[in-house]
A and B are shown apart, each in its own frame.
Chain A
Amino acid sequence: MASIASRTALAGPALPLKARIIPLAFQLQARSRNSNGAKRTLTFSAATPHDGVHPEHSSRPKKVLTKAQKQFLDSALRVNQAGELAATRIYTSQNPPIIKAHPHLRPLMKHMYDQEAGHFKTFNGLLAKHRIRPTAMYPVWYAASSLLGWSTGVMGREAAMACTEAVETEIGDHYNSQVRELLVWEKEAKDNGETLGPELEALLVDIRRIRDEELEHLDHAVEQDAKEANPYELLTGVIRAGCRGAIWVSERV
C-alpha cells in the first residue's frame, strides 16, 4: 500500500503523460529519484550520532519482516532472477550477428553481457540463500528471450539497441519500484528505532547498483542509435509490453 502511494506521488504529477512514456525522460526521472534516495541515506546516517540512547548502529534491533514483506521479497527476487536470465540470453543470442556485422561493438557488447551475467549470478545466489523458488516459467523465458535476442540481432544494430532500450526501460522502472519499497521499510525501521539489518541493507545496495548499470545500458543503446530502428514504435512497444507481461506472470508463478 505504502509503495503504491509513494509510487503515484513520485511518478504521478512529476511529468506530463507523453514525457513519461519516452524512455529518455524516464531515465532523467529515474536519476532524480536515485539522488533523492541517496540524500535520504545521508540524513539517516547523519542522524545516528545524535541518537544518544543507541550510539552504535549494530546495537539497534533488526526490523522484523511481516509476512507481506517476506512475500514481497520472495516474488521481487524471483522476478529479478527471471529478468536477468532473459538479459543474459538476449545478449548471448544477439552478440554473434551484431559483432559479425559491427566488429567495433565487441567491447561494448561484452561489457554489457558481463554485467548481466554478474546480475544473474547475484540473484541466483540470493534465491538459493533465501530458499526462494525460481519462476515456473523458467524454460519459457529461456526460449522466448533467446528468440528475442536472436531476431533483433539479425535485424541489425539499431533493432538490437532498440530491444535493449525497451527492456532496460521496463527493468529500470521495475528495480526502481523495489528500491522505493525498501526505502519505505528503512524509514519504518528507523522510526521504530530499528535497522533494516545487514541482509536487507546489502540488498538495497545491490539493487541500486544493478539499477544504475541497467540505466547505463539504456544510455549505450540510445547512443548506438536505438531510435533509428525501424519500425521503432512497434518494436519497442511490443518488447515493452512483453516485459511487463513477463514480470506480471513471474510475480505469480
Chain B
Amino acid sequence: MASPAVVRTILRTPAALRPLLLRAPRAAYHEQHHDQATPYGDAERTILSHALAYVPAHGFTQEAITFGAKDAGYLDVSRNLFPKGTFDLVMYHLVTQRQGLKDRIQFPDETMGVGKKVRSLVIERLRANADAGVVWRWQEALGVMSLAENIPASLRELGLLSDEMWFLAGDTSVDGSWYTKRASLSGIYAATEVFQTTDQSTEFKDTEQFLDRRLEELRVTGSAVGNTMQWMGFQGGALMNMLRSKGVRI
C-alpha cells in the first residue's frame, strides 16, 4: 500500500508550482442560500455515518463499513454501494466535515483579520478529526488517499476545503491572488494534518505551533509570486511617470 509519502511529495513542491498540481476546485456558481447538497443518497449516508463510528476501533476498513451497514439495517449490500471501498468512507468523512465546518465556528469579533480567521478554521477542522476519533487512524486514510486512482479526488477535496476556509474567513478577493491563496492553504492544511497524526502533546499544542510556523513562513516568503508581479507593475508605472515628467511622450 502507498504511504503518505505521495501526499508529502506534492506538499514539497515549490508553492509557486502547486497551483498546477492542485487542479482548481471546480464548484460551479453557488446560488445564494445555496444548499450544500451532499452527493450521497439516503442509504449511503446512513451506512457511512454508522460506519464512521467504527473507525476509531477498526480503522478506515471494509469491516467498519460492514458493521455500519448492519447497524443501519442493511445486510451485506455495502460492496455494491461503495465501489471504491474504504476510500468512499474516507471521502464521506472529508465531505461532511468540510460542510460542517461553518457550523463549528463563529466569528463574533468583527475586527478579527482574515489571517487569524484562517488559523482558527484550520485548528477547528483538525479538532473535528480529533472529535471524530480518527486522528490515530488518519495515516491509514492518507494511505488510501495517495493510491494513484484516488489522488485526483483527494486533491480536489483538499482544494474545496481550502476554498471553504477562505470563504468562511470572509476573503472576497477575486484577483490573481485567488490561486496562490488556495494552493498555499491546501499545502499548509495537508502538512499540518500529517503532523497531527504524530502529535503526542496534550490538546495538540505541538500541532498548533507547527501550524503557526507554516503560516509565518507563508507570511514572509509564500506570496513571493504575487509580490513580484505587484512589484513589477509598480516599477513599470513609476518608470512611465518618471519618463513622462521628463517630457517623453508616452
Interface residues of A (CB under 8 A from B): 65, 67, 70-71, 73-74, 77, 81, 96-97, 100-101, 124, 127-134, 136, 138-139, 142, 150, 154, 199
Interface residues of B (CB under 8 A from A): 19, 24-25, 27-32, 163, 167, 172-176, 178-179, 229, 233, 240, 244, 249-250
Decide if B250 touches A150 in the complex (CB within 8 Å).
Answer: yes
A131, A139, A154: the one within 8 Å of B176 (CB)? A139
A132, A136, A199: the one within 8 Å of B179 (CB)? A136
- Shortest C-beta distance, A98 to chain B (Å), equals 11
Decide if A130 touches B31 in the complex (CB within 8 Å).
Answer: yes
6 contacting pairs across A/B (C-beta < 8 A): A131-B27, A133-B24, A133-B174, A134-B178, A136-B179, A199-B32
The 6 closest A-B pairs by CB, nearest first: A128-B172, A74-B28, A138-B176, A127-B174, A70-B29, A73-B29
B236 closest partner in A (C-beta): A146
- Shortest C-beta distance, A29 to chain B (Å), equals 29
A78 closest partner in B (C-beta): B174
Main secondary structure of the interface of A (DSSP, over half): helix
- Shortest C-beta distance, B249 to chain A (Å), equals 7
Q: Which among A70, A100, A128, A133 has the highest number of chain B CB atoms within 10 Å?
A: A133
- Hey, which chain A residues are within 8 Å of B176, CB to CB? 134, 138-139, 142
Decide if B244 touches A133 in the complex (CB within 8 Å).
Answer: no
A73, A134, A142: the one within 8 Å of B174 (CB)? A134
9 A-B pairs besides A101-B249, A132-B28 with CB distance below 8 A are A65-B29, A65-B31, A71-B28, A81-B174, A96-B250, A127-B174, A129-B32, A130-B29, A142-B176
